[in-house]
Structure 1
Amino acid sequence: MLVILFSDSITSFLFVFDDGPSYEYVETEMEIEQEEGRSWSSFKYAKLFMECKSKMKNKKI
């Protein structure tokens, strides 16, 4: 945590910065798109698409 106090003859300001980790629930969607494999290989191939649905889109500031 960082605390900064600024003061002059007229005003005073106190700034507090908390650089610690913070966590927030984020709604996500995932889609899996399987690709055709090669007949001579036992490997499976797929593409993963992940998308976050931001809450900030609908927030009014």
Structure 2
Amino acid sequence: MNKDQVKGRIEEAKGKVKEVTGKVLDDKGMEVEGNVQKNVGKGRAGFGDLKDDLKKNK
């Protein structure tokens, strides 16, 4: 697992927590911010997965 995969998964988890907290507190701003952070984390993790696949196929 490379650093992009790890950091992406961490950001994804933090975003999910923030999103759920926003829902519980009825704070739309926090909910949206968490959703964005979660999706950015997914993107970074996906980029890390792609890098890992390319490295394995060389």
Q: TM-score, normalised by structure 1?
A: 0.30
Greater fraction strand: 1
Higher relative contact order (CA 8 A, sep 6+): 2
Q: TM-score, normalised by structure 2?
A: 0.30
